[in-house]
Structure 1
């Protein structure tokens, strides 16, 4: 087993926020499930990562019950589940130790949010020497407000603000930033097709 699929923050916390209505792919869990099934068939390690902010009182506070996998996803008992408190999946977890114990050198990453936790994990993984495949259509994100926008901006105000960076722009910029530097950009379909050729 030299490969692992890292599923990052595909959790109910995001659905509990009003911003969920702006998510780039409301069916993100379906795309992730395709990757999980593909990884399991290949005998790859599947690692589930959840973001947790204990004591914060918001949707990432485990005490509120939203810090759990999206309901459509099913983790096997043998698949590691780790909780992180930083943007990347390495800094506050034992992920690197876990991957080393399993002899993993190649990672496939997916999850929420494209430019935040998934991209940050990808960059750190690359710096640590892993070969990384970033599955762009198995990530999702929301529009980002301008740095000068009010902190209490409503979803309607966010979408109406011409300075807001759209989810589509974020995804495109992430692809450009990662490709050839930190990761190979790929899609679920491309990985499925490659697996069929190897079968």
Structure 2
């Protein structure tokens, strides 16, 4: 049994219904995500789907959008719902991983600098080795104090703050080669 798991974070239909949704980078994200999932599955690495759930809006269960994005076809080993930015708080994920003696996590999904990065930081603090596959993450431009960071800026910022501290940054190919 593999001691590695792939965490697919928030790759859910809810995002298509947010005002900031854009198609830029989505095709590349899909291709990277599908390659990563297929490669992990073929190596016996369990895929864990994590979905963000809110009380109202497109992330509420009542909306019907808390479902995998339509391009995803895999069968997850397990599914967890989260209500905060990381995949561990009050979800049972840590218990599930430790029961299976999993000590290495590969992270992909939405949004690069929010739920994916926060999960990587918490996972590292909990003692997991973390591989962050930023090409298999997606995000959207953000503006603060009149300065907009585009998706490339946000990805670079996330890689910079995670690398060597909380995670190893790898491509899909590098990740699969290391398994």
Q: TM-score range by the shorter chain?
A: over 0.9
Q: 1:88 to 1:8 in 2, by over 3 A?
A: same
CA distance in structure 2 between the partners assigned to 1:192 and 1:84 by the alignment: 27
Q: 1:4 maps to which residue?
A: 5
CA distance in structure 2 between the partners assigned to 1:17 and 1:105 by the alignment: 34
Please tell me whether the aligned partners of residues 20 and 142 of structure 1 are also in contact (alpha carbons under 8 angstroms): yes
Q: 1:158 maps to which residue?
A: none
> How far off its partner does 1:28 sit?
2.2
Q: 1:27 to 1:13 in 2, by over 3 A?
A: farther
Gaps of 5+ in 1: 149-161
**What SS does structure 2 have at the residue aligned with 1:48?**
strand
> How far off its partner does 1:39 sit?
1.0
Q: 2:100 maps to which residue?
A: 102
> How far off its partner does 1:88 sit?
0.1
> How far off its partner does 1:97 sit?
0.3
> How far off its partner does 1:191 sit?
2.4
Q: CA RMSD in A?
A: 1.6
Q: 1:176 maps to which residue?
A: 160
Please tell me whether the aligned partners of residues 22 and 143 of structure 1 are also in contact (alpha carbons under 8 angstroms): no
- May I ask how many residue pairs the two structures share in their alignment? 178
Indicate whether 1:139 and 2:123 are aligned.
no
Q: 1:67 maps to which residue?
A: 66
Gaps of 5+ in 2: none
Please tell me whether the aligned partners of residues 122 and 132 of structure 1 are also in contact (alpha carbons under 8 angstroms): yes
Q: TM-score, normalised by structure 1?
A: 0.84
Q: 1:114 to 1:174 in 2, by over 3 A?
A: same
CA distance in structure 1 between the partners assigned to 2:53 and 2:111 by the alignment: 14
> How far off its partner does 1:29 sit?
3.0
> How far off its partner does 1:33 sit?
1.6
Please tell me whether the aligned partners of residues 113 and 154 of structure 2 are also in contact (alpha carbons under 8 angstroms): yes
Question: Higher strand proportion, which one?
Answer: 2
**What SS does structure 2 have at the residue aligned with 1:96?**
helix
